[in-house]
Structure 1
């Protein structure tokens, strides 16, 4: 069994990776859409893949939030917080 600190770090890491997926997915989606608009339609496939990455990032953020809520309900609000 992981310690409380390790459990908290795990869902915080999930949230961070989710936000990275959303931010970079949005940037690359915008770039792919711009390139497709400029006359290279093959970039639409990349833009679609980035849109999927954005959706997966949002799911990861939501899942980490639910995990945090369950963890805090079970162990207390400040369990596993390093000070």
Structure 2
């Protein structure tokens, strides 16, 4: 069980949150010019590192805000991102 530190509500159980995928994925500058393969890569392909990884989380059962944390993908240790 993960203990996630919400910036507004403090430490809470992971059941109060929803995972929002990898943080820092920029929307394409010219989406109308992307091929189907490029769209598929944008929508579905994400990094899968062994180590620290920036993730977005949504506090569904609390303040209802999005925030970014860093989670270690092996130990599941969580730390706040700047």
Q: Same fold (TM over 0.5)?
A: no
Structure 2 length-normalised TM: 0.30
Judging by fraction of residues, say which structure has more helix. 1
Which one has the largest radius of gyration?
1
Structure 1 length-normalised TM: 0.30
